A and B are shown apart, each in its own frame.
Chain A
Amino acid sequence: MSELASELQLAAKVVELVRELAGRAAEAEVNVRHRALALTRFANSAIHQNVAEATTGVRLRLHLDGRTATGSTTLTSVAGLRSLVERTLAAARVTPPDPAWAGLTPPAALHISAGHPGSGEHSGLAFGFDEATARATPAERAERVRAFVDAAGGLETAGYCRTEYLSAAFANTAGQAVDGRTAEAAMDGIARNDGADGVARLAASRLADLDGAALGARAAAKARAAVTPIELPPGEYEVVLEPTAVADLLQNFSVFGFNGKSYTQKQSFAELGKEQFDPSVTIVDDPLGSRGEPAPGLPFDDEGTPARSLVLVREGVTRAVTHDRTSAAEAGVESTGHAAATSRSWGAFPGHLRLEAGPAPVTGLPDAPAAVVESARPFVARMRRGLLVTDLWYTRVLDPKTLAVTGLTRNGVWLVEDGEITRPVGNLRFTQSYPQALGPGRVLGIGAESVLLPDSWGDSRYASPALHLASWNFTGNASG
């Protein structure tokens, strides 16, 4: 148990210990994260796993005499912190030289996004933070699960409801000291109907914004509309991707495309200044939030660089990639504030991508089944023959340079003919270059609403509209 009350105090203590044990020549940066994560998971329409944790971790990166080492601990007593500094210092003294060390972030104020305050309570910034989400109880999560299950009307359901509170601080020996906190909630569930699954998922900065009943009803409508699928032959199909599928595109663009290290190593498709996407495509990384949303991310990165909104693609032209200090130095630019614990090895990538929504649809569209997300309906209505895809699954990169990806559809695919959904379709395998799919002339429409969606694994979130694309390369079906 720590004798130090706040994350910022913990970080400052580690900086003080570095000064004491390594002298003033040592460069050090300290990240402290307190995370309270709770996740209520259900399957077969019952809560079967219900977990919570409250952990505090301290991470120290130390550079001394041209050598660098990193250490972390969950032991936050003064003795535990001293042990961390001693251990990391010992490692730094014997490791081979680190010629790529890019130095520390100098003191810098945190940014405030236009019309919306970021977090940073102790830094004097206005604060957009939902206390109720941070303090959510197991009963509140269970109530949303109950609503999801009930709304599915007897269909078997599975999924989770999650709340997370993160309080973090950063300090370095150059004098940068910042802190902030975030709260997040997410719900993701399926309804199952005789071998057909339907999905609904949503992320929010307020648990109160998650309506379990609405999500359960959406998932159930999809499952009911997906029974008895036909099998279609592989080939190129025009597609409408719902926001849940588009999030996968954003995730792969993020990790492999806009990753500054991949870019400097010539392993990314990104070419700055080149029209690589359709002119309708604008992609922004927005860690500080927008449209009145409380900040989805911390207002600083793991190197203490203030986070800010960054346009990666504007009207089809690739404008930027994301950097930590190491890849920025290699590229001869400034850090964009995307350092993470693993970014020196894996590269810095954006965690809050938003594909800008398209114009509002024309009115007078025919009604579509409830199984179709509203913002995708105009595209379905105007598609002569193609596929409506709910979700993508298990996508893996075949070639990073072209971002050729293979994966499968999941949770509902339908054949659309003359603007109407005619048949559910069995899941298909695809092998498709993602940038090529969104290339000039290939984007037939972008939905009018970006839906905030959680990442299936990490802390990233994606604001995804529906997408209408000219073609998608399906390379297999249920038969192989």
Chain B
Amino acid sequence: MSHFDEAGAAVQAALDAGARYADARVMVCRTESMTARNGSVEDLGSDESAGLGVRALVGSSWGFYAVPDLSEPAARAAGRRAAQIAAASALVAGPPAELMPSAPVTASWASECAVDPLSVPLSDKGDLLVRATAAAKEAGADLAEASYAVWDTMKWFVSSEGHRIDQHIRECGGGVTANAIGDGEVQRRSLPGQYGTRGWELIEELDLVGNAPRLAEEARELLTAPLCPSGETTLVLGGSQLALQIHESVGHAIELDRILGWEAAFAGTSWLDLSRLGELRYGSELMNITIDPSFPGALGSFGFDDEGTPAAKRHAVRDGIWVGVLAGRDSATVAGLDYAGSVRSDGWSRLPMVRMTNVGLEPGPHTLDEIIAATDDGVFMETNRSWSIDDRRLNFQFGCEIGYEIKNGKRGRMLRNPTYTGIGPKFWQSMDMLSSETVAWGTPNCGKGQPGQIGHTGHPAAPARFTNVRVGVRA
């Protein structure tokens, strides 16, 4: 069933009400999630949401309105309302807004999916989570939790420039966590969250039940492990932690709306200055960051963004030099750039905005074993536990679930409460070894915007080594 007609009606109504550009998205979204705790299912949710969001540009001002009603009269009313809201924006108008030219596209796209996650029986899914948490509990966890989430999204996009695009995107992911509760502290071990635009096969590959006992044993061992020492040292990060490092200290920093000040009051700005695009050294020569929504199976993959721009791979950092940004059609014009393609919303009721797609690190020449073997004295950290970074995306502090001492090229004692801190470009310039063992990690909980939106982003990453990093920061 197509919803192009309703989207088209909303667009036409906005134009009739004075908009010089309009676009509309109809979305039908189904989500399913389950959590289990200590061998029992705790929560099972199945949600369905359908509606239309329309965006209108009147003069230099935008308006957006959304309704949970897919009738054509409601769509037309929404289009008119969006134009009225845009007109009110003119009371505090900005400079003229123009959109980067975009050829009209008529297309249909669907993500690849071997096993439809909504077709897997709920009883099987429940049994999997029950068994995983029971296995962790049996192996010594005081508190074992497991979960999965599935998103099935269908979109119909129409613009006043002639775009007609429908997409079907299926995503899923999950994990298991073991907690050990000691005297005055809690230690946690989990499978790094794995999410992608894939089917249930992704969950099966995680082997939640097989990994659960190991996680429980590690969590319990952490309670008596020595604290991560404080000071400057060589730091080796596992792939999932590096994915988060990329997300926070590169992905958000290269969002063009932040660079232009559009997010200044909440998410923040960026330390990057557009006048230095193409020449600023971001990191060492090993640092090659790409923006690639065409990466197969990664969580930030799509055929077209929410402005109808086709997915395309480009560099954000090449050989350590900053060369690209995440942009939309209006922000690209303001910045004088000739590409967009990174605008998305988290649902029909939210305004599309600049978001990460798949922002990842190209593989390096080493392996994790080689990196550890080449390190005389350092710390290895894996799996994120906490993350904090300033509003310009410079000053970060991350905590990991587990650390290990590295001495004379070998992984040694387990370390508890490992943390590290630094300044983005200084940290990235210290990267001197990078693994080739890339995994497309996914972040399903990226918050941005007002009203808040939850983005799904992908981060291909592999383990890497950084020198002279301050570790062991604590209260």
B3 near A: Cβ within 8 Å? Answer: no
- Residues of the A chain whose Cβ atoms lie less than 8 Å from the Cβ of B386: 396-398, 406
B395 and A190 contact, CB distance less than 8 A: no
A363 near B: Cβ within 8 Å? Answer: no
B423 near A: Cβ within 8 Å? Answer: yes
Q: How far is the CA of A267 from the CA of B186 in the complex (A)?
A: 7
Can you list 7 A-B contacts with CB-CB less than 8 angstroms, sorted by A residue number?
Answer: A41-B450, A98-B42, A396-B386, A398-B474, A404-B475, A407-B388, A476-B421
Q: How far is the CA of A142 from the CA of B90 in the complex (A)?
A: 9
Q: Of A44, A395, A431, which contacts B94 at CB under 8 A?
A: A44
A53 and B66 contact, CB distance less than 8 A: yes
B115 near A: Cβ within 8 Å? Answer: no
A95 and B122 contact, CB distance less than 8 A: yes
B63 near A: Cβ within 8 Å? Answer: yes
A56 and B451 contact, CB distance less than 8 A: no
Nearest CB in chain A: distance from B79 CB, A? 13
Q: How far is the CA of A76 from the CA of B264 in the complex (A)?
A: 38
B5 near A: Cβ within 8 Å? Answer: no
B399 near A: Cβ within 8 Å? Answer: yes
Q: A48-B62, A457-B447 are in contact. Are A70 and B45 (CB under 8 A)?
A: yes
Question: Nearest residue in B to A326 (C-beta to C-beta)?
Answer: B42
A84 near B: Cβ within 8 Å? Answer: yes
B43 and A192 contact, CB distance less than 8 A: no
A228 near B: Cβ within 8 Å? Answer: no
- Residues of the B chain whose Cβ atoms lie less than 8 Å from the Cβ of A398: 385-386, 399, 417, 419, 474-475
Q: Of B62, B91, B95, which contacts A142 at CB under 8 A?
A: B91
B92 and A145 contact, CB distance less than 8 A: yes
Question: Nearest residue in B to A430 (C-beta to C-beta)?
Answer: B475
A362 near B: Cβ within 8 Å? Answer: no
Q: Name A130-176 residues within 8 Å CB distance of B.
A: 137-139, 141-143, 145-146, 149, 156, 158-160, 162
Nearest CB in chain A: distance from B423 CB, A? 5
Q: Name A50-77 residues within 8 Å CB distance of B.
A: 50-57, 68-76
Q: How far is the CA of A132 from the CA of B77 in the complex (A)?
A: 23
Q: How far is the CA of A59 from the CA of B470 in the complex (A)?
A: 48
Q: How far is the CA of A10 from the CA of B452 in the complex (A)?
A: 27
Nearest CB in chain A: distance from B431 CB, A? 16
Q: Of B68, B86, B147, which contacts A56 at CB under 8 A?
A: B68
A375 near B: Cβ within 8 Å? Answer: no
B94 and A47 contact, CB distance less than 8 A: yes
- Residues of the B chain whose Cβ atoms lie less than 8 Å from the Cβ of A91: 44, 46, 122
Interface residues of A, dominant DSSP: strand
A184 near B: Cβ within 8 Å? Answer: no
A123 near B: Cβ within 8 Å? Answer: no
Q: A74-B68, A393-B391, A394-B389 are in contact. Are A158 and B94 (CB under 8 A)?
A: no
Q: How far is the CA of A97 from the CA of B74 in the complex (A)?
A: 42
B109 near A: Cβ within 8 Å? Answer: no
Q: How far is the CA of A401 from the CA of B186 in the complex (A)?
A: 6
Nearest CB in chain B: distance from A220 CB, A? 14
- Residues of the B chain whose Cβ atoms lie less than 8 Å from the Cβ of A37: 451
B286 near A: Cβ within 8 Å? Answer: no
Q: Name A4-59 residues within 8 Å CB distance of B.
A: 37, 39-57
Question: Nearest residue in B to A149 (C-beta to C-beta)?
Answer: B92
- Residues of the B chain whose Cβ atoms lie less than 8 Å from the Cβ of A55: 51, 66-68, 349
Q: Name B33-89 residues within 8 Å CB distance of A.
A: 34-36, 40-51, 53, 61-69, 71, 74, 81, 84-86, 88-89
Q: How far is the CA of A137 from the CA of B49 in the complex (A)?
A: 26
A345 near B: Cβ within 8 Å? Answer: yes
Q: Name B427-444 residues within 8 Å CB distance of A.
A: none
- Residues of the A chain whose Cβ atoms lie less than 8 Å from the Cβ of B81: 52
Nearest CB in chain B: distance from A59 CB, A? 8
Nearest CB in chain B: distance from A405 CB, A? 8
Nearest CB in chain B: distance from A127 CB, A? 27
Q: How far is the CA of A174 from the CA of B44 in the complex (A)?
A: 22
- Residues of the B chain whose Cβ atoms lie less than 8 Å from the Cβ of A400: 186
Contact with A along B12-42 (1 / 0, CB 8 A): 0000000000000000000000111000111
A99 and B40 contact, CB distance less than 8 A: yes
B470 and A480 contact, CB distance less than 8 A: yes
Lowest 10 CB-CB distances: which A-B pairs, in order?
A46-B94, A138-B88, A158-B265, A74-B68, A53-B66, A142-B91, A404-B475, A47-B89, A96-B126, A158-B264
A480 and B397 contact, CB distance less than 8 A: no
Nearest CB in chain A: distance from B47 CB, A? 4
- Residues of the B chain whose Cβ atoms lie less than 8 Å from the Cβ of A399: 185-186, 417
A429 near B: Cβ within 8 Å? Answer: yes
- Residues of the B chain whose Cβ atoms lie less than 8 Å from the Cβ of A70: 43-46
B110 near A: Cβ within 8 Å? Answer: no
Q: Name B122-140 residues within 8 Å CB distance of A.
A: 122-123, 126-127, 130
Q: How far is the CA of A457 from the CA of B156 in the complex (A)?
A: 28
Nearest CB in chain B: distance from A143 CB, A? 7
A188 near B: Cβ within 8 Å? Answer: yes
Q: A69-B44, A91-B122, A138-B85 are in contact. List 5 more A-B contacts (CB 8 A).
A: A47-B93, A98-B41, A398-B417, A408-B390, A480-B423
Nearest CB in chain B: distance from A70 CB, A? 4
A384 near B: Cβ within 8 Å? Answer: no
B184 and A40 contact, CB distance less than 8 A: no
Contact with A along B321-356 (1 / 0, CB 8 A): 000000000000000000000000000011101000
Q: Of A43, A146, A401, which contacts B263 at CB under 8 A?
A: A43
A431 and B450 contact, CB distance less than 8 A: no
Q: Of A50, A76, A345, A393, which contacts B63 at CB under 8 A?
A: A50
A79 near B: Cβ within 8 Å? Answer: no
- Residues of the A chain whose Cβ atoms lie less than 8 Å from the Cβ of B91: 47, 139, 142-143, 145-146
Q: How far is the CA of A329 from the CA of B181 in the complex (A)?
A: 21
B92 and A45 contact, CB distance less than 8 A: yes
Contact with A along B145-159 (1 / 0, CB 8 A): 001000000000000
Nearest CB in chain A: distance from B475 CB, A? 4
- Residues of the A chain whose Cβ atoms lie less than 8 Å from the Cβ of B389: 394
Q: Of A48, A145, A427, A432, which contacts B262 at CB under 8 A?
A: A48
B473 and A476 contact, CB distance less than 8 A: yes
Q: How far is the CA of A196 from the CA of B43 in the complex (A)?
A: 46
A113 near B: Cβ within 8 Å? Answer: no
Q: How far is the CA of A292 from the CA of B349 in the complex (A)?
A: 34
Contact with A along B94-119 (1 / 0, CB 8 A): 11000000000000000000000000
B88 and A137 contact, CB distance less than 8 A: yes
Q: Of B64, B65, B263, B421, which contacts A480 at CB under 8 A?
A: B421
A42 and B122 contact, CB distance less than 8 A: no
A431 and B185 contact, CB distance less than 8 A: no
Nearest CB in chain B: distance from A459 CB, A? 11
Q: How far is the CA of A478 from the CA of B49 in the complex (A)?
A: 44
A52 and B65 contact, CB distance less than 8 A: yes
- Residues of the B chain whose Cβ atoms lie less than 8 Å from the Cβ of A345: 35, 42-43, 147
Q: Of A43, A51, A188, which contacts B351 at CB under 8 A?
A: A51
B162 near A: Cβ within 8 Å? Answer: no
B422 near A: Cβ within 8 Å? Answer: yes
A1 near B: Cβ within 8 Å? Answer: yes
Nearest CB in chain B: distance from A239 CB, A? 15
Q: A43-B263, A99-B40, A345-B43 are in contact. Are A94 and B122 (CB under 8 A)?
A: yes
Q: How far is the CA of A394 from the CA of B448 in the complex (A)?
A: 12
Q: Of B53, B71, B130, B142, which contacts A1 at CB under 8 A?
A: B71
- Residues of the B chain whose Cβ atoms lie less than 8 Å from the Cβ of A382: none
B278 near A: Cβ within 8 Å? Answer: no
Nearest CB in chain B: distance from A422 CB, A? 24
A47 and B40 contact, CB distance less than 8 A: no
- Residues of the B chain whose Cβ atoms lie less than 8 Å from the Cβ of A431: 397, 473-475
A473 near B: Cβ within 8 Å? Answer: yes
- Residues of the A chain whose Cβ atoms lie less than 8 Å from the Cβ of B34: 95
Q: Of B95, B265, B390, B394, which contacts A188 at CB under 8 A?
A: B265
Question: Nearest residue in A to B469 (C-beta to C-beta)?
Answer: A480
Nearest CB in chain B: distance from A67 CB, A? 8
B473 and A479 contact, CB distance less than 8 A: no
A429 and B127 contact, CB distance less than 8 A: no
Q: How far is the CA of A69 from the CA of B399 in the complex (A)?
A: 35
Q: Of A50, A98, A267, which contacts B61 at CB under 8 A?
A: A50
